[in-house]
């Protein structure tokens, strides 16, 4: 994520990547573009920084990858594993709990 | 920066940082794909070929910084990479004697099983024969050296696959060497003993000290050669 991301965004990149991969197989560039587009450029990965992250998730067996050719271009596509699905559920639950708590504290006008 | 320069710098830095060659290939392939995607997007937006390449490189950032980030991620992805002090400084102190004893035990048991059909009487009779005993002694000391080399190799392999620098391999190897210097194995007819003593004694303390050092030197030479061959194959 961007260097300016505050500390409370720890764990958010994992949540975002797993969420995107739960929808379909994607490659690195596509993931970065999707995050940028779907968060309306509020959040974005630095170009190239996604790969260490994806490899880390792969080492943890949360995602798997395969080389696939689409429209004449061969790329590494990543997809969610069953273990990654469980991790996504845990992170989603945790995220909801945190945002609910923060919203309660901040009051209605900030929710 | 032309494509070959950017990718080549990235590749060289990853190899220098001690990333396994298979991992380097994959990372370089992915970054090359990504760079091509960025370039195609820039071309679609109306930039010229050269401008699109410059734009892609600017977005990707410094190739050396990118390589550092990729290598760091590789290290973080394994327990050995995350806890290198425990793994390569503390654990060898416990693991070396245990693994060495295990390897020695299995090796000697195999000799006993296949050479003497697990018959203790046959083993005692053989031990009384000076020629056979000489061979047994050679075998025990050979197994001892092999065990030390295998333990060292294990730590070399763990450091390599975690993308750690050679420093960690050297530390683990130094611990193996010190351990080898102060432990000993002794065989006399009808008796085999293992021990620890200070100062070192035994028939071959310096050979035992050298075993991990020679092993790690060979591993280092092999890694250098592999990296060199990889660079040459890419250049070709």
Asked whether A59 and B77 are in contact (CB, 8 A), the reply is: yes
Instruction: Tell me which of A52 and B20 has the higher pLDDT.
Output: B20
More confident residue, A56 or A62: A62
Q: Is A22 exposed, middle or buried (0-12, 13-18, 19+ CB in 10 A)?
A: middle
Q: Sign of torsion, CA B1 B6 B7 B8?
A: positive
pLDDT in tens, A7-39: 455 678 889 999 999 999 999 999 999 998 988
Q: What 3 state SS string does B51-74 have?
A: HHHHHHHHHHCCHHHHHHHHHHHH
Q: If pLDDT is split at 50, 70 and 90, which confidence band does B119 have?
A: confident
For the domain spanning A10-100, the CATH number is 1.10.10.10
Q: Is the pLDDT of residue B153 over 60?
A: yes
Confidence of residue B135 (pLDDT cuts 50, 70, 90): confident
Query: To the nearest whole angstrom, how far is the Cα of A28 from the nearest Cα of chain B?
Result: 7
Percent of residues, chain A, with pLDDT higher than 70: 87
Judged by CB atoms closer than 8 Å, whether chains meet at A48 and B31 is answered as: yes
Q: Strand B191-196 and strand A73-80: pairing? A: unpaired
Record: contact A56-B72, CB cut-off 8 A: no
Please tell me the distance from the alpha carbon of residue A90 to that of residue B43, in angstroms, as a whole number: 41
The percent of residues above 90 in pLDDT, for chain A, comes to: 41
pLDDT of residue B6: 87
Closest A-chain CA to B55: A47
Instruction: Name the DSSP class of B89.
Output: I
Between CA A78 and CA B31 the distance in angstroms is 15
Residue B176 burial class via C-beta count within 10 angstroms: exposed 0-12, middle 13-18, buried 19 and up: buried
ipTM of the complex: 0.79
User: Chain B: nearest CA to A96, how far in angstroms?
Assistant: 27
Q: Where are the domains of chain A?
A: 10-100
CB within 8 Å: A73 and B26: no
Which of B37, B59, B70 has its CB closest to that of A52? B70
CB contact under 8 A, B72 and A27: no
Outline where B162-201 has alpha helix (H). Answer: 166-182
């Amino acid at each position: 994520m961007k260097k300016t991301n505050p500390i409370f965004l720890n764990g958010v990149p994992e949540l975002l990547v797993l969420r995107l991969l739960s929808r379909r197989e994607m490659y690195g560039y596509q993931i970065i573009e999707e995050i940028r587009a779907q968060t309306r450029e509020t959040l974005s990965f630095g170009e190239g920084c996604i790969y260490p992250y994806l490899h880390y998730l792969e080492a943890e067996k949360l995602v798997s990858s395969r080389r696939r050719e689409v429209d004449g271009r061969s790329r590494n596509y990543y997809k969610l594993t069953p273990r990654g699905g469980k991790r996504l559920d845990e992170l989603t639950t945790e995220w909801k709990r945190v945002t609910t708590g923060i919203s309660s504290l901040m009051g209605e006008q900030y929710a | 920066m032309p494509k070959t320069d950017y990718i080549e710098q990235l590749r060289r830095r990853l190899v220098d940082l001690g990333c396994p060659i298979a991992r380097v290939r994959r990372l370089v392939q992915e970054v090359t794909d990504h760079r091509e995607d960025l370039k195609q997007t820039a071309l679609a937006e109306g930039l010229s070929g050269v401008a699109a390449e410059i734009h892609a490189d600017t977005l990707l950032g410094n190739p050396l910084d990118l390589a550092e980030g990729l290598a760091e991620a590789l290290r973080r992805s394994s327990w050995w990479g995350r806890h290198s002090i425990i793994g390569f400084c503390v654990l060898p102190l416990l693991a070396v004697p245990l693994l060495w004893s295990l390897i020695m035990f299995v090796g000697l048991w195999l000799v006993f099983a296949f050479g003497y059909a697990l018959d203790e009487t046959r083993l005692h009779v053989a031990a009384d024969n000076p020629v056979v005993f000489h061979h047994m002694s050679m075998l025990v000391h050979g197994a001892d050296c092999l065990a030390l080399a295998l333990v060292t190799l294990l730590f070399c392999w763990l450091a390599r696959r975690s993308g750690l620098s050679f420093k960690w391999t050297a530390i683990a190897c130094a611990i193996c060497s010190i351990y080898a210097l102060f432990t000993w194995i002794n065989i006399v007819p009808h008796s085999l003993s293992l021990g620890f003593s200070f100062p070192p004694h035994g028939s071959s303390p310096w050979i035992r000290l050298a075993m991990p050092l020679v092993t790690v030197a060979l591993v280092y030479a092999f890694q250098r050669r592999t990296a060199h061959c990889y660079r040459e194959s890419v250049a070709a």
